[in-house]
Amino acid sequence: MNYGPKPWQQTQWDWRAAGNFICGGAGSGLIVFAALSGASGIGMVSLMLAGLGLIGLGLLFVWLEIGRPLRAFNVFVNPRTSWMSREAISATLLFPAGLAALLIAPGFVWLAAALALAFVYCQSRMVHASKGIPAWREPLTVPLMIVTGLTEGGGLFWLAAAWHGAGSLLLMVLFGALVLTRALVWRAWRRRLDASAAPRALAPIDTAGRALHLAGTWLPLAAIVLAASALLGAAAAAALMATAGLLAALAGAWFKFTLITRGGFNQGFALTHLPIRGARR
């Protein structure tokens, strides 16, 4: 690796870190949609367990990335300043809350949804805290990561709607609003990167952005509009919503994977004042 003024790709976070952000965001969004849907019985069980399973899978990726896995409990020791510690604590509280919603009282589902939102917020702040990487430290990265996670979770919710049967017109509209909001936030975020991010970082980000807009925004929005209209039967509408959910979730996952693994170029060394021999201080 050549260190110097030219930006270079970070190597600390790889596909395993990306997997944590992808699975954690999607699992959190799925739990939120499960709470909003009012599902019960086997439907709620399947949605909650799927959401918790995705979050657990993401944390497993992080555990595999640790150089000394047996020291993983050290992540809990610094919640005052570390967003990774806060992520771990919110996850530790989320799992019993989710299980309590299934085994004790359905009202715990709202506590699980609140903790899921806290979890995805902590994840977004973890990315933003990497101040040396322009594409990550941009303030709009926080809302972009949050809305992407919720959109992915909503996509998985509609992909599985045929099994849990808890879909509604209100959730359909909410999912469409999230899809559109994600695209708008991405555009504003991308415009702000022009002044700071390296061209080698922007190239893969733009490629993933095109997929995010075409396959992850316009096609799902068209499917949602058709499904919400009275022009189609129930089976066709369900198939359209499942397709929209799948496309929105895959596009979001690909964007986050690209952002972490290929868009993580730092700014290089920045020397604002160079010493000149013979010049006055």
Map 239-277 to HEC letters: HHHHHHHHHHHHHHHHHHHHHHHCCCECCCCCCCCCCCC
Q: For residue 144, give the amino acid letter.
A: L
pLDDT band at 267 (very low <50, low <70, confident <90, very high): confident
Domain with residues 15-261, CATH architecture? Up-down Bundle (1.20)
What confidence score (pLDDT) does residue 86 get? 94
Q: Please compute Rg for the chain using Cα positions.
A: 21
Lowest mean pLDDT among 98-107, 128-137, 258-267, 269-278: 269-278
Q: Where are the domains of the chain?
A: 15-261
Residue 142 pLDDT > 70, yes or no? yes
- 268 vs 236: which has the higher pLDDT: 236
Q: Quick check: helix, strand or coil at residue 195?
A: coil
**Two structure tokens written together for 43:** 């439907």
pLDDT at 2: 52
**Residues 104-130, mean pLDDT to the nearest whole number:** 96
Q: Are 47 and 116 in contact (CB under 8 A)?
A: no
Distances (CA, A) of 55 to 25, 34, 166, 206, 279: 8, 15, 22, 28, 58
The answer to whether the beta carbons of residues 50 and 155 sit under 8 Å apart is no
Residue 133 neighbours by CB under 8 Å, 6+ apart = 10, 264, 265, 266, 267
Give percent helix, percent strand, percent coil of the chain, each to the nearest 5. Answer: 75, 0, 25
The whole-number average pLDDT for the span 2-23 is: 82
Q: Which residues contact 275 (CB under 8 A, 6 or more apart)?
A: none
Identify which of 55-64, 244-253, 258-267 has the greatest average pLDDT: 244-253
Query: Residues 19, 57: contact at Cβ < 8 Å?
Result: yes
Task: Convert the pLDDT of each residue in 161-202 to its tens digit.
Answer: 989 989 899 999 999 999 999 999 999 999 999 988 888 899
Q: What are phi and psi of 81, to 5 degrees?
A: -125, -15
Specify the pTM: 0.91
Residue 11: per-residue pLDDT? 82
**Residue 59 to residue 2: CA distance in whole angstroms:** 32
Are 112 and 47 in contact, with CB atoms under 8 Å apart? no
- Whether the predicted pLDDT of 101 surpasses 80: yes
Each residue of 13-33: pLDDT tens digit?
899 999 999 999 999 999 999
**186-207: string of b/e by CB count within 10 Å (b at 16+)?**
beebbebbeeebbeebbebbee
